[in-house]
A and B are shown apart, each in its own frame.
Chain A
Amino acid sequence: MQMVTRLFVSFALIGLAAYGGGLVTIPLIQHEIVDNRNWLNLAEMAQIVAIAQMTPGPIAINAATFTGFRLAGVVGAAVATLAVVLPSISVLGLLTPLLERAGQSRHVQKLRQGIQIGVLSLILFAVWSYGRGVIAAWPDMLLAGASFLFLVLFEARLHPIVVILAGGVVGLVVF
């Protein structure tokens, strides 16, 4: 029972702080699940992110489902997933009417620009921390570089899942 409560609190915190969404939440999840709670180590966390990229849905939800399931079975998965989405829904519900009125004000615009700077720094940090856990040798670096070129060159035409799946196939063949 205690584990379920702790899962709820941790993932509600992640949900509440998850500005920018998507891969930006990696540092947040890492901070809470790996550094604070020691529920997973960095390598396991990297595995979850890899698996999450192959399944549909935002990464925070995927991570909640996986971690909850791993620590407390189906109940854990349900509680963690619910906890990670609730803050977003409640904050949106409470604040939207206020912001509809203030939305065009200069302060709100500036606030948004500030948030974007913070989000950018978080992504760069995710590259750094996640990269240290993942890139162990030159071949890894090469593959990351190749994937990056593909993403940039074919940005409009190539669905990101193609790059993910191609990475998986290369891994199957090489190792």
Chain B
Amino acid sequence: MALLHLFCAFFKVGLFAIGGAYSFLPLMQKEVVESHKWMDEDEFSHIVGMVELFPGAISIKFATYTGYKVAGVPGAIVANVANLLPPVLFMTVASLLYLRYGGVPAVKGALAMVRCAVIAMLIAIAIKLAQTHVPLSLKAVPVLVASFLLLTLTKIHPALVIIGAALYGGLVR
């Protein structure tokens, strides 16, 4: 029964998580904390903070953590599968449609505008992150500038930039 609940909850989150982290966290909180009471508010925010130390989409990490907590390894598997099904199904259909109708002028135009909206979203996320999470102290600015220059001017692997910044934060600061 727990597995069925996990499946339904994470399928719902997977289905409605459109538009990235903006829309995702409230959805997840509603399912995991309010509806199913798998964890309380404190544990939820603790997990949100902790999983930043791990790679990957936050929905995968939440599915893994909650699934394992509720029903062990089978729980983690069921929650992840449920969470992945909607994106994979939608994206497969979208790929088919795109490969067939991507050349139609109206579709091209619509996608061009969506790309512009995505840029706006990226800038908005950057500002939000700078405001709420990163303590933009004087010490952080040089790292930020150096990382940005490294990324734009060289062919460095983006992961190395993250590792470098993490080491700077953990060891030097």
A residues adjacent to B (C-beta < 8 A): 15-23, 25-28, 31, 35, 46-47, 49-62, 65-66, 69-70, 74, 77, 81, 85, 87-89, 91-93, 95-96, 99, 103, 107-108, 110-131, 134-135, 140, 143-148, 150-152, 155, 159-161, 163-164, 166-172, 174-175
Do A54 and B152 form a contact, CB below 8 Å, given A17-B157, A65-B88, A112-B169?
A: no
A175 contacts across to B, CB distance below 8 A:
105-106, 108-110, 112
B residues adjacent to A (C-beta < 8 A): 14-23, 46, 49-61, 64-65, 68, 76, 80, 84, 86-88, 90-92, 94-95, 98-99, 102, 105-106, 108-127, 129-130, 133-135, 140, 143-144, 147-148, 151-152, 155, 157-159, 161-171, 173
B123 contacts across to A, CB distance below 8 A:
127, 148
Contacting pair A117 B20 (CB below 8 A) = no
Q: A88-B56, A118-B161 are in contact. List 15 more A-B contacts (CB 8 A).
A: A21-B21, A50-B111, A50-B114, A53-B117, A56-B15, A85-B57, A88-B61, A96-B65, A103-B46, A113-B140, A125-B147, A134-B116, A140-B112, A152-B124, A160-B23
Distance to closest chain B CB from A114 (angstroms): 2
A46 contacts across to B, CB distance below 8 A:
115
Distance to closest chain B CB from A10 (angstroms): 13
